[in-house]
Structure 1
Amino acid sequence: MENSMELSKHMEFIFLGALILIGVSAAATAAVPKLLAPAAQVASVKASTTPIVVVKAKRLTAEEKAALGE
């Protein structure tokens, strides 16, 4: 009989705990609206405006390489 009395005393805390658990799980599995997901928008902008770097230089001769190695 004592165990059922303790359970009824703590029923409010059990209910609140279950309510919090349901709320957290609902928030964790909810879809993210487009306005709150700027990373996807940034990724699409970066993909379309990717900078291209072109490096042009003449090759060193054997004498120039030897002079740099000293």
Structure 2
Amino acid sequence: MKVLKNFEALFIVVLGLACAANFALDSTAVDESTPANAAAALAPMIATTPGMQVVVVSAKRLSAAEKAASLEEERKARKI
């Protein structure tokens, strides 16, 4: 039982060291002393498209009779 507790403690210590190392390396990689530097560092990650793409579907709605016929065709196709 002590072995499992030791592994749990080891895991917590390693996780803490990994988080600390990640924080330390990330904070030194980018000089964030001014907002202009931070924005320049993030510029490649920002999308360059001016607007969102929009898909327009133009089709008429099926009437009740057409919908029933379509469903019957699908049921017949499944039976085969």
In which range does the TM-score fall when normalised by the shorter chain?
0.3 to 0.5
Q: Give the TM-score of the pair, scaled to structure 1.
A: 0.43
Larger radius of gyration: 1
Higher relative contact order (CA 8 A, sep 6+): 2
